[in-house]
A and B are shown apart, each in its own frame.
Chain A
Amino acid sequence: MMPLLQIRNLNLGLKRAGSSYALLHDVSFDIMPGEIYGLVGESGSGKSVTSLAVIGLLKKPLQVLGGEINFRGKNLLALRRREMRAMRGRRIAMVFQEPMTALNPLATIGRQIAEMYVLHQAKNWSEAGQLAVEALASVRVPNPERRAKDYPHQMSGGLRQRVMIAMALACNPDLLIADEPTTALDVTVQAEVLKLIRELCAERGTAVLFISHDLGVIAEMCQRVGVMYAGCLVEENDTAALFANPRHEYTRGLLGALPRMGSRLEHGRQRLVDIDSVIEDRSTLTSRRFITPRQDIAAQ
């Protein structure tokens, strides 16, 4: 089977008068059609920036410095702006982290969902409005007809995120990028939203690039996982295998740092293993890359 998304040697960074400053180093991974692929790592590891590169929303001064992003065989980086724009919403869609600010406060949510149908399926506004109500129903928003006339500030975070999902999946894209979709939500709501994403994507055969720093969420959602550290993809495996048998030292450290239920009973009193130091200042990452004690890990 052909991979849906194929990223090869993606290099990304800031380019300023002469010097460049890299944020991603030769990142490569594939996502198969219909699979949920997780990208995990701490803040600053480059996960979000990878996703923005895929959907083409990198803001200056960030830019792609090299590599390919092949989507259904075509290199997205080689597309003209208009062609890339045609992909967004239609074939590749995104859900962001902050539901509170991700929706236009001055437009009804029905209207914001309807935009998708007007834009991509050439429907008129009244048809699109009807479809929007159906979309709301599909993400299990109670009372969808009434809710469609609400404004974002009248909804809770969890509901707003459902709206975001409805919008993103409205035109049945091939790939959904979910950048920390539940991080800003209450734990109880998190589970519902995650379940929703899993079920809807399974129904429609939508692949998901799921980004999170939360290992628990990754374990629940994803079939395969890639671990990112300081702009590099350091390990990649099926979820179960990764958790059972982490090969890279960073991954081991990451998993070791997880507080585990019942660990006290099983293993006696143990301190949470701490990974030495944080991601150091990136400006030093030019030729001599990693200067901290984690040097040997990253060099692998």
Chain B
Amino acid sequence: MLRFIIRRVLQIIPTIMVVALLIFVIFSVVPGTFASSLFSDGKTAADPELVARITEQFGLDKPVHVRFVSYVTDLARLDLGTSFRTRRPVLELINERMWTSLRLATAAMIFAIVIAVPLGFLAALRPGSILDTVTMVGAVSGLSLPQFWLGLLLMYLFALKLNLLPSFGYGDGSFKHLILPAVTLGVTPLALLARTTRAGVLDVLNADFVRTAHSKGLSETQVVRWHVARNALVLIITTIALLLGSLIGQAVVIEKLFAWPGIGSLLVDSVSMRDIPVVQGTILVIVMWFLVINTVVDVIYALIDPRIKQV
């Protein structure tokens, strides 16, 4: 088991290296001068003095391979560079906001799991029922909703009209502030998870070993608890891992919408301001987290399914 964990952890390294390379390539190979393209938005020309200063300060006029080397050596020292805008180290900026984002993401995931999984199970156990139809319709709708639109509507309804919840911000970190963003963020994962849970449970219910379980005289509840649950769990966990990717992506938009001070809104702001070091650093950190969580999920997977370790 331990060997499996170590192996999976080690697999992250080449991936993150390639991602870092990819990010560097994307941001370096741009048409025109690197610096001036940063400071012009295509409409007004950049102020030449500002451009010259930034270029010198950040060594942007050095050739690509020199920049690459310093990029890599910086990364090795866990130095993600300095923000163009605020002159502060990128790592510091990220650190301030990381836990805030994690809080939101976790809340959204928990919200999604707690509702979707039982719903999916029940829908599969009663196919064709009203619950089933409602779940399926709800799921497809949830997947088609633009999340930020839902956020806007919820904001309108609960915060502005009914005045029940704060409409934006982190506030004092109280739960009230977390609800709207977390629910908005969690809706699409909920929809997808409900759908795949239902499909997965249905598949398991049709499996031969479930027929065997019935032939042994187990009641439906016992069959579900003793045989179906664990097998369906495998598919559920796979789905959760997949969901994380889109969750992180959407979190960026939701954070901006609700003015939630996480790394998502940091990323958006930096992109608007063309603050490249921050963009690079944030993306790298986000991908890192994503890979780490995926590895954790894989390990959980191996704990549940004894067949995986053989692979």
User: Which listed residue (A55, A93, A107) contacts B230, Cβ 8 A?
Assistant: A107
Q: Report how far A153 CA is from B209 CA in the complex, Å.
A: 13
User: Which listed residue (B207, B215, B219) contacts A57, Cβ 8 A?
Assistant: B215
Contact of B215 with A119 in the complex, beta carbons under 8 Å: no
Q: Does B305 contact A (CB under 8 A)?
A: yes
The bracket for how many chain B residues form the interface is 20 to 34
A105-B231 contact, Cβ under 8 Å, with A98-B208, A115-B226: yes
The residue in A93, A105, A164, A167 that gathers the most chain B C-beta atoms within 10 A of its C-beta is A105
User: Which listed residue (B215, B217, B307) contacts A105, Cβ 8 A?
Assistant: B307
User: Which listed residue (A94, A103, A120) contacts B209, Cβ 8 A?
Assistant: A103
Contact of A85 with B231 in the complex, beta carbons under 8 Å: no
Q: Report how far A119 CA is from B222 CA in the complex, Å.
A: 10
Q: Does B133 contact A (CB under 8 A)?
A: no
A102-B216 contact, Cβ under 8 Å, with A107-B230, A151-B306, A151-B307: no
User: Which listed residue (A98, A104, A120) contacts B227, Cβ 8 A?
Assistant: A104
Contact of A119 with B231 in the complex, beta carbons under 8 Å: no
User: Which listed residue (A86, A104, A153) contacts B217, Cβ 8 A?
Assistant: A86
Q: Does A88 contact B (CB under 8 A)?
A: yes
Q: Does A90 contact B (CB under 8 A)?
A: yes
Contact of A104 with B231 in the complex, beta carbons under 8 Å: yes
A104-B209 contact, Cβ under 8 Å, with A151-B306, A151-B307, A153-B307: yes
What residues of A have a CB within 8 angstroms of the CB of B215 in the complex? 55, 57, 88-89, 93-94, 96
Interface string of B211-239 (1 = CB under 8 A from A): 11111111100100011001100100000
A120-B307 contact, Cβ under 8 Å, with A104-B231, A106-B230: no
Q: Does A87 contact B (CB under 8 A)?
A: yes
Contact of B209 with A102 in the complex, beta carbons under 8 Å: yes
Contact of A104 with B213 in the complex, beta carbons under 8 Å: yes
Question: What's the minimum C-beta distance from B222 to chain A, rounded to whole angstroms?
Answer: 8
A120-B217 contact, Cβ under 8 Å, with A151-B306, A153-B307: yes
Q: Which of A163-213 contact B (CB under 8 A)?
A: 164, 167
Q: Does A24 contact B (CB under 8 A)?
A: no
Across the interface, name the chain A residue whose C-beta is closest to B222: A119
Contact of A107 with B227 in the complex, beta carbons under 8 Å: yes
Q: Report how far A173 CA is from B231 CA in the complex, Å.
A: 29
Q: Report how far A153 CA is from B305 CA in the complex, Å.
A: 11
Q: Does B304 contact A (CB under 8 A)?
A: yes
Q: Report how far A75 CA is from B218 CA in the complex, Å.
A: 21
Q: Which of A78-130 contact B (CB under 8 A)?
A: 85-90, 93-94, 96, 98, 101-107, 115-116, 119-120
Interface string of B186-221 (1 = CB under 8 A from A): 000000000000000000000111011111111100
User: Which listed residue (B211, B218, B219, B306) contacts A106, Cβ 8 A?
Assistant: B306
A105-B209 contact, Cβ under 8 Å, with A85-B219, A151-B306, A153-B307: yes
Question: What's the minimum C-beta distance from B211 to chain A, rounded to whole angstroms?
Answer: 7
What residues of A have a CB within 8 angstroms of the CB of B212 in the complex? 94, 96, 102-104, 164, 167
What residues of B have a CB within 8 angstroms of the CB of A57 in the complex? 211, 214-215
Question: What's the minimum C-beta distance from B121 to chain A, rounded to whole angstroms?
Answer: 17
Question: What's the minimum C-beta distance from A117 to chain B, rounded to whole angstroms?
Answer: 11
Q: Report how far A151 CA is from B308 CA in the complex, Å.
A: 12
Q: Report how far A20 CA is from B306 CA in the complex, Å.
A: 46
What residues of B have a CB within 8 angstroms of the CB of A119 in the complex? 216-218, 222
Q: Report how far A55 CA is from B209 CA in the complex, Å.
A: 16
Q: Report how far A119 CA is from B226 CA in the complex, Å.
A: 12
Contact of B227 with A88 in the complex, beta carbons under 8 Å: no
What residues of B have a CB within 8 angstroms of the CB of A164 in the complex? 212
User: Which listed residue (B211, B217, B226, B306) contacts A85, Cβ 8 A?
Assistant: B217
Question: What's the minimum C-beta distance from A131 to chain B, rounded to whole angstroms?
Answer: 15
Contact of B307 with A116 in the complex, beta carbons under 8 Å: no
What residues of B have a CB within 8 angstroms of the CB of A87 in the complex? 217
User: Which listed residue (A85, A88, A96, A116) contacts B208, Cβ 8 A?
Assistant: A96
Question: What's the minimum C-beta distance from A150 to chain B, rounded to whole angstroms?
Answer: 9
Across the interface, name the chain A residue whose C-beta is closest to B214: A57
Across the interface, name the chain B residue whose C-beta is closest to A116: B216
Q: Report how far A88 CA is from B234 CA in the complex, Å.
A: 29
What residues of B have a CB within 8 angstroms of the CB of A88 in the complex? 214-217
Contact of B207 with A115 in the complex, beta carbons under 8 Å: no
A-B interface, 8 closest residue pairs, ranked by CB to CB distance from nearest: A89-B217, A88-B217, A101-B208, A89-B216, A94-B215, A104-B209, A106-B230, A102-B212
